[in-house]
Structure 1
Amino acid sequence: MSPIHVLIVDDHAMVREGLKALLQPLEYVAVVGVAATGAEGLAAARQLRPDVLLLDINLPDISGLDVCQTLSAELPNLKIVALTTFNEKLYVTRMMQAGAAGYVLKNALPEELAEAITKVYAGKKYFSDDVQHLLLETPTAPAAPLLTRREKEVLAAIADGHTSQHIADNLHVSLLTIETHRRNLLTKFGVNNTALLIRQAAQLGLL
């Protein structure tokens, strides 16, 4: 029996290497590649055609949500497991809608990660215990995401109608840095455009 081919997409080198080290002793798993960005992950998945993709949601260029949706459409046999620190129902729901087969928190034990890989490979769904409890909770008003001080500054500037270049000039940072903050804000609020970002931020009292 050939091993389950796994691709890891995470922007932190320590996480990538740690996951490789955790999975290496498993005879039934083979890490065939790693990627640090969404674009690299898309290219690697298309080239390597892994069985399972361990995908971080918060990537520096393309949201993990978009990567998941794209690959789910292009590679229907690929099983995608979100591997993230985001323990919020909104993210779980959106990843499932995007085609993910599992959702595992980064504080999971190695045994849990191995179980997630084998279960999704077998065509089943897998959620961390904490995520399962989250899904069973009675719906409540959405909680405001935790924002850094700089993210709050960028959010306020976006709401005021300023362009990314204008914000970058005012904050004395690069345009790329502001675009990264924009993408992170969209991910944290679970939206895909600026209008929805501003509306949801206003509803949550952040503007």
Structure 2
Amino acid sequence: MVTNTVDGMSENIDLIKLAIVDDHQIVIQGLKNLLVPYPQIQIEGSFTNGMDVIHFLQTTTVDVVLLDVMLPGINGMELCKEIKMLFPQVRVLALSNHAERSFIMQMLQNGASGYLLKNVSAEKLVKSIYELHNGEITFSKEVKEVIAKPSLNELRGTPLLTKREKQILGLIAEGKTTTIMADELCLSPLTIETHRRNLLQKFAVRNVAELIKEAIQQRIL
């Protein structure tokens, strides 16, 4: 039990065991230096590779994983999902440069209990680690603002697709060309192109790459 004072809080808290995952050693070292004044936070290990932390958690007790979103190999979003599936008692705190709503929401859907941008102060970082350890959800100010503002697609709602449009959307995602789709579905290429245009309009996107991205985010694909 350690007495802590940070950001107006003063209380006795248990030792918090932390693991750091970031693909930049300089970031890891910076985080370690920031946390030196807080002996109640004990860094158990640091990793630049996602799978290394999975192996580590199998043999070492950790309360909180401080996790970057962009990692080589398995990305932070998938790694978060893996950690929560294998070690549900571990709390994941995302720490990222990415403020895109899609990143934030995917991390939360995959089990993260908080999301901070890397420009947060040391006090906010420490306070967030405490909040996670106490079972709370925590965000930095900018992340709260992003979450509070719905995306255009959320305001529009999920597009209503016909059975044929869903079928063609699936074939587009598989990389099929208009000619191949026309042959497989016994339709004319002109009909396929019409469905393509309708899909782009319904999803309010400019090209096939954006179409597939939106369909995945909205869980249609």
Q: Tell me if both proteins adopt one fold, taking TM over 0.5 as the criterion.
A: yes
1:63-142 matched pairs, under 5 angstroms: 63-141=75-153
**Unaligned runs of at least 5 residues, structure 2:** 2-13, 155-173, 177-207, 217-221
Partner of 1:200: 213
Q: How far off is 1:49 after superposition?
A: 2.2
The runs of 4+ residues in structure 1 deviating greater than 3 Å are 195-198
* 1:36 alignment partner in structure 2: 48
Number of residue-to-residue matches in the alignment: 155
- Output the amino acid matched with 2:35: L
2-structure distance, mates of 1:49, 1:66: 21
2:52 aligned with 1:57, yes or no? no
Contact 1:24 1:31 in 2 (8 A): no
Alpha-carbon spacing, 1:200–1:135, altered in 2? closer, same or farther (3 Å): same
Report the AA paired with residue 148 of structure 2. Answer: L
Amino acid of the residue matched to residue 126 of structure 2?
A: A
1:68 to 1:108, Cα distance in 2 relative to 1, 3 A: same
Which has the bigger relative contact order, CA under 8 A and spacing at least 6?
1
Please, what TM-score do these two structures have when normalized by structure 2?
0.64
Separation of aligned partners in 2, 1:123 and 1:5: 15
Give 3-state SS (helix, strand or coil) of 2:59's partner.
Answer: helix
What residue identity is the alignment partner of 2:115? Y
1:92-149 alpha-carbon deviations (Å, 9 max, x no partner): 111111110010111111001001100000000001110001111132259xxxxxxx
Contact 1:7–1:45, Cα closer than 8 Å, also in 2: no
Residues 80 and 100 in structure 1, CA contact (< 8 A), matched pair in contact too: yes
Distance 2:209 2:21 in 1: 27
Sequence identity, in percent? 31
Q: Write out per-residue CA displacement over residues 12-55 of structure 1, whole angstroms, 9 at most, x where no aligned residue.
A: 00000000111121021111100011111212222222100000
Q: Structure 1: any 5+ residue segments left out of the alignment?
A: 143-158, 162-194
Question: Is residue 10–residue 16 contact of structure 1 (8 Å, CA) maintained in 2?
Answer: yes
CA distance in 2, matches of 1:130, 1:201: 23
Deviation string for 1:57-106 (max 9, x for gaps)? 11011111111111101111101001111101111111111110010111
Q: Based on CA coordinates, which of the two structures has the bigger radius of gyration?
A: 2
The residue that corresponds to 2:37 in the other structure is: 25
Paired amino acid for 2:130: T
